[in-house]
Chain A
Amino acid sequence: MGLLSQGSPLNWEETKKHADHIRKHGIIQFLNIYNKVKERQKDVLKWGDEVEYMLVELNDKDEKVQLCLNGGDVLEILQDQGEKINPNHPTLWRPEYGSYMIEGTPGQPYGGTMSEFNTVEGNMGKRRREASAVLNQNETLCTITSFPRLGCPGFTKPECSPTPVEKGVSKSLFFPDEAINRHPRFSTLTRNIRHRRGEKVVINVPIFKDERTPSPFVEEFPEDDGEAARAALPDHIYMDAMGFGMGNCCLQVTFQACSIAEARYLYDQLATFCPIVMALSAASPFYRGFVSDIDCRWGVISASVDDRTQEERGLKPLKNNKYRIFKSRYDSIDSYLSRCGEKYNDINLTIDEEIYKQLLSAGIDKLLAQHIAHLFIRDPLSVFEEKIHLDDENESDHFENLQSTNWQTMRFKPPPPNSDIGWRVEFRPMEVQLTDFENAAYVVFVVLLTRVILSYKLDFLIPLSKVDENMKVAQKRNAVQEGMFYFQKDIFKGCNPVPDGAASAQNSLETDCANEEYTLMSIDTIINGKEGVFQGLIPILNSYLETMEVDVDTRCTILNYLKLIKKRASGELMTMAKWMREFVAKHPQYKQDSVITDKINYDLFRKCDRIAKGKEQCPELIGNPVNKSK
């Protein structure tokens, strides 16, 4: 979740006073970096995955599963016995939002050779074993996107009560402050989001209406001071804290591009895949002990950190705020960055005009300038007293402050100052999968996709408004089977960047032939292809793999990964979300009332743990991958 500074965090009133200073110097820092490294070329491919884990205790006596709030201690042990004593240690561990979470990455990035695809799953296994080994008995490490009973009474160990009063961090009726990472950055972010917004965050997820689910489904909250009653919608699961979103686990991939131009091209192309891959990875159907009607976490996290005021959300006329802002800080991207993308930038982009002009006059082109000027409409959320006056030539904390709290589907990452790292892009929409096999499969699929896009110079761009529509569809229950997504029909045609000044003329043409370029497709069509409609990504990937020199062992591994993706797309295999739904539906204690009890949750985690540890097969979820016992 970004860098962690030590020191004294400022509250929202104080932070606000420094906002302009931080933005101003953030831009100077960005320009310094840009001017130093804009000409960087020929960087090699390096990439890495990030997996987020939750620590749980399976209490066999009470048949209950709880989140363990000892992530901080576990992290310290892992770092002490790993990276701190050996700079080449194969794993790296980082803190995450929940005090029951940790994040693991490979110790060194992967490179551009094919055989490295064969080491990803092994490294993930190493991470899982390494962390598991330092846990107490009955504790285990899970890669499950959303803990089904997050925010239910007694969901943590030790059990803690929420603090639904102003002095609390979240002021949540459900989510105790102890479940937030103890590093001050996280509680500061949480409280400052709430204070900036002027009220608690509001998350309403539609409930899945089963046979015996009350209708309308309306909850009462005894400790509520009135805020929850106003915010909660009928037939929805109501949540009121950042932890309900940022306390979920995700799977991310970051790539180093060979140049800034390649990074911008990949950023745009991959943006169109965010909804597709998210739907394929769907793994979070349950919230606060209820079965919901969505399969993906995205909207939940988006709402969980939505710091916009009522004015900014358009509920009140602008008076104290500068802008009407259309999306949360955590949401899909708002503009393409490559010249090919320019003509598809069709959504409302709120920018800081002054910063935009400043960037243009510093020689930044308008696409990049508007991207940065859009990120910088936000206020900084966490500022440390000791970190206000910085050396803009050699530090980038103020730039990173805003950059790292714009949590979009894609992230365009300039190199850190004075490093040998190149321009990077991060792919952020995926839900984490139950097993290392699946996580490796999704990660390798995305990396292969980038290689194919670059090799064949493919063009998947469609208007960004259509990508946003896809994002909405992608989160719905069973979107992978039922959803229809806007997708480019002819990806081989290559792009035609709009020459400067010709944008408006092009736009009128665009509306005429818009329907020709893209059409609605199922995920099966997109992934596996359909005669006369679309070639399918898997056949294109295979064609790439045939041309590359791939050793038999790696090829077998990739074959298994692509088989998983293929079958998830066709419906032959279930997504984690669907599998969890079926598990609950068939559970003897489930009463068709959308309620997930402690016992159901416990049995679910028992089974998940056995599958993740390879003690049990789960062919309906992952098929029968050839186990080469690496």
Chain B
Amino acid sequence: MDMQNSNSINTDAKMLLDHAKTLRFHTGNLVSRSRLKKKCPGSPTEELQDCIQATLSDWISTTKPSSEDFPDTLDCFVPQETDVITPEEREEVKVSAKLFLCESVQSSIRDAVEMACQTLAVSQLDSVIIAPPGPLENDSQTLAHLQPAWEELETLVKSQQIAAIGTSDLDKDLLEQLYNWAQVKPSSNQVNLASCCVMPPDLTAFAKEFDIQLLTHNDPKELMSAGTFQETMQDGLQDGLQDLNVADWRLEWVLRYNVIVKSRGIIKSKGYLVSARKASP
């Protein structure tokens, strides 16, 4: 690795970013929103954008020239914003995650779940819902498309890193196909908020019969496009780092976690873990 020394924080951050192959964000607990620009986000995409920017600029301003080496994987988080669940409170909370895959990289699922467990200091996530990358245009979602991700999730259930797994936006036919094929059955399927009052009766009946919980979400089809991610990076990099080339960075996955105090209906914490990799030139 080519060593260049500099004492400026910005240059140091730039160096780190230049050398890294993978970038991981942890946004910290968004329940206290004081450091975010938009106190009440309009959409999940805006929220994600807002907190990636905030995390990146916080990280840049606190990065100290520390070590001599430049890691491949750069962890971008602000130390005091982490949210560890203590063993005493583990029983009282439900830890759920929704994993948005942006690329079909198999290791993504394991990486994301491991990072979530590590960040929250838990050995198991109570539930993980998967949102696989959308099919190519004019293509509809198929079982074949879902299977690789589901198999990976099943492995994590078997190794007890996840207790229950679920899907999002599956219609009755696809949910049924998945159910019949899967070893570990889906425990829930998320549907869009817009359809919660106009549910297709066949989906409702199927879910009821096989004890699959139908939950709601308000996420767009694509949580964050490649373009939006790059813009967001660019905005977070202000203060002398604008010349950094962000076009190489690709979003791999986004994991959103929620920690809910079960018997009180209170959100203890909520945050995003984000992974991006640098495309090979």
Contacts and interface: CB of A to CB of B under 8 A. Distances in A.
Interface of A: 42, 44-45, 111-114, 258, 451, 454-457, 492-494, 529, 535-536, 539-540, 542-544, 546-553, 555-556, 559-560, 626, 628
Contacts of A451: 264-266
Contacts of B264: 44-45, 112, 258, 451, 454
A552 B216 contact: yes
A255 to B, nearest CB: 10
Given A549-B260, A626-B197, A113 B213 contact: no
Nearest to B197: A556
A365 B94 CA distance: 35
Contact of A494 (B34, B213, B218, B261): B34
A539 B34 contact: no
Contacts of A457: 31-32
By secondary structure, the B interface counts as: mixed
Nearest to B204: A552
Interface stretch (B13-21, B39-47, B238-246): B39-47
Closest 10 CB pairs of A and B: A44-B263, A455-B267, A556-B197, A535-B40, A555-B216, A112-B265, A552-B196, A555-B196, A556-B196, A552-B214
B197 A456 contact: no
Given A543-B41, A555-B193, A550 B263 contact: no
Nearest to A494: B34
B250 interface: no
Nearest to A115: B213
B143 interface: no
Interface string B166-202: 0000000000000000000000000101011101000
B96 interface: yes
Interface in B18-74: 31-34, 39-41, 44
A550 B267 contact: no
A481 B263 CA distance: 37
B32 A113 contact: no
B262 interface: yes
B90 interface: no
Contact of A546 (B32, B33, B199, B217): B217
B215 interface: yes
A559 B216 CA distance: 12
A495 B264 CA distance: 22
A536 B42 CA distance: 12
Contacts of A111: 263
28 contacts: A42-B92, A45-B263, A111-B263, A112-B262, A112-B265, A114-B265, A258-B264, A451-B266, A454-B266, A455-B267, A456-B267, A457-B31, A457-B32, A492-B34, A535-B39, A535-B40, A536-B40, A546-B44, A546-B218, A547-B260, A548-B267, A549-B94, A550-B215, A550-B216, A551-B213, A552-B196, A553-B214, A628-B197
B258 interface: yes
Contacts of B217: 546
Contacts of A535: 39-40
Contacts of A112: 261-265
B259 to A, nearest CB: 10
Contacts of A542: 218
Contact of A549 (B34, B96, B204): B96
B211 to A, nearest CB: 12
Contacts of A529: 40
Contacts of B213: 551
B186 to A, nearest CB: 14
Contacts of A549: 94, 96, 215, 258, 260
B260 A548 contact: yes
Contacts of A559: 193, 196-197
A165 B96 CA distance: 68
Contacts of A556: 196-197
B34 A551 contact: no
B32 A456 contact: yes
Nearest to B47: A543
B265 A548 contact: yes
Contacts of A536: 40
Given A540-B40, A546-B44, A555-B193, A113 B215 contact: no
A452 to B, nearest CB: 9
Contacts of B191: 552
Given A45-B263, A111-B263, 20 more contacts: A45-B264, A45-B266, A455-B266, A455-B267, A456-B31, A492-B39, A493-B34, A494-B32, A494-B34, A529-B40, A543-B41, A547-B258, A547-B260, A549-B96, A549-B215, A552-B214, A555-B193, A555-B196, A556-B197, A628-B197
B265 A547 contact: no
B270 A547 contact: yes
Contacts of B41: 543
Nearest to B262: A112
A467 B41 CA distance: 28
A353 B33 CA distance: 43
